[in-house]
Amino acid sequence: MAANTITQAIYEQVLKRNPGEVEFHQAVKEVLDCLGPVLEKHPEYVEAKILERLVEPERQLIFRVPWQDDKGNIHVNRGFRIEFNSALGPYKGGIRFHPTVYLGIIKFLGFEQVLKNSLTGLTMGGGKGGADFDPKGKTDAEVMRFCQSFMNELFRHIGPDTDIPAGDIGVGGREIGFMFGQYKRLCNEFTGVFTGKGLEWGGLLVRNEATGYGLVYIMDEALKASGKSTESMTVSISGAGNVAIYATEKVQQLGGKVVTLSDSNGFIYDPDGVNLDTVKQIKEVERKRIKEYVSIHKNAKYTEGCHGIWDVKCDIALPCATQNELDEATAKTLARNGCIAVGEGANMPCTPEAVGVFHENKVLFIPGKAANAGGVAVSGLEMAQNSQRISWTFEKTDAELKNIMVTIYKNTSQAAEVYGYPGNFVAGANIAGFIKVANAMLAQGLV
């Protein structure tokens, strides 16, 4: 049977089995669409039904999370953990707290995580979790009660050699602290069951910075291949959370100028270059909205709504907020305005049509699986550090992060070349990530 007939049949089965889960469909389709040449070269993957197994999570957990707000009112949220694939190691992937969370989002993130973790070269399987809980506007005590209730169910499914969660949208150091504390209490053990922990209790220097720094490292490496660099580039970034803030920091350290940031209400444009101390104060310390920025920096402008952010002229665009935030029309605007490179800090922020526009216009495009793998890579280093009960220096971890990102760039670009997609990092990342997982699944038999 022709390879594309096989992948089409698998995709139809995914649609049938997972109705309404549009983000999961989108993530699976993108991968299947690249794998034809791989299946032709490796009939053993077809025979062992590796792809059919890959798109079906090993385990899916859905649970009730009841909690009480400060006034004593009771709320019920829904919690998820998708343990997607453990061929390369224990399940590893973040937890997202956001009102839009449902099974399709967690499955898409878990599926992407399997291939992303493979690309890091570390021994980590893939998983993802979350809840349709909105931490915005909640007090610390409310967030703590929610996290404890969430962990009252999740603790029995995770462990330092089984499944190691981390942060994602809406889950930062505060939430990880509360969840880790409850896990420790329930299990009576102090282990590296979470990554992204506080520095005093097993965390690793650079974890906070890792995803944003890694994004800029891989982009800089890709630019170098065509004789360019981040220095003197004007960069548009969306989001104002963990990934966006540390991508901004690294761009600035490398001599680039970041002119935009956003949150779900709107975006700021600062022609002088974003002042990161102000942003950190607003977002990390005060937990306020990004529009506060313009009351301090008078040259900057705030626009309500997120869409217009990509109308701002830039050399490099780094979408770092959420899935499908950058569509076809926006991609055309970016290309028309002379944007030369796009790197996905968020997971799947560009729609498939937008990616098509970038490819047509020869805009260098690095997909999230490769571009934002720095976070989970440093999480892998945190796990190693926890097992050995040692602490690495900032410099050592940062150098290792950079090394991993450069290796991801090389492996991705090489896989694209070998399988007939030169310059296509989407295909390269999917193929390089897939082959390692497929070989491990073959070796481990029918499980």
Q: Closest approach of Cβ 94 to ligand NDP, in Å?
A: 6
Among 92, 116, 128, 369, the active-site one is 128
Binding mask 427-446 for ligand NDP (x = CB under 6 A): --------------------
Mark whether 128 is an active-site residue: yes
Interaction of residue 203 with ligand NDP, rule CB under 6 A? no
Q: Which of 170, 177, 202, 367 binds ligand NDP (CB under 6 A)?
A: 170
Q: Which stretch binds ligand NDP (CB under 6 A): 164-172, 178-186, 392-400, 430-438?
A: 164-172
Interaction of residue 237 with ligand NDP, rule CB under 6 A? no
Residue 363 CA to residue 361 CA, distance in Å, equals 5
Binding mask 6-45 for ligand NDP (x = CB under 6 A): ----------------------------------------
Interaction of residue 320 with ligand NDP, rule CB under 6 A? yes
Q: Which of 243, 268, 357, 429 binds ligand NDP (CB under 6 A)?
A: 243
Q: Closest approach of Cβ 5 to ligand NDP, in Å?
A: 33
β-sheet bridge partners, residue 407:
none
Per the structure block, which two tokens stand in for 52? 């059919």
Beta strands, E only, 86-162: 91-97, 126-131
Q: Determine if residue 137 is left, alpha or beta; phi over 0 gives left, psi from -120 to 50 gives alpha, anything else beta.
A: left
| 99, 125, 246, 298 from 49: Cα distances, Å | 36, 19, 40, 60
């499944």: which residue's tokens?
163
* 242: nearest Cα among 214, 266, 222, 268: 214
DSSP 8-state class, residue 157 = G
Q: Which of 114, 306, 354, 426 binds ligand NDP (CB under 6 A)?
A: 306
> What is the distance of C-alpha 291 from the center of its chain?
25
Residue 430 CA to residue 116 CA, distance in Å, equals 8
Q: Which of 142, 249, 263, 398 binds ligand NDP (CB under 6 A)?
A: 263
Question: What's the one-letter identity of residue 133?
Answer: F
Phi then psi for residue 82, to 5 deg, are -105, 115
Sheet containing 234-237: order of strands: 301-304, 266-269, 257-262, 234-237, 316-318, 341-343, 364-366
Interaction of residue 236 with ligand NDP, rule CB under 6 A? no
């493979």: which residue's tokens?
118
| Closer of 300 and 441 to ligand NDP (Cβ) | 300
Q: Which stretch binds ligand NDP (CB under 6 A): 6-14, 53-61, 163-171, 434-442?
A: 163-171
Q: List residues near ligand NDP by CB under 6 A.
A: 167-170, 172, 211, 239-244, 263-265, 306, 320-322, 345-347, 372, 375
The catalytic site residues sit at: 128
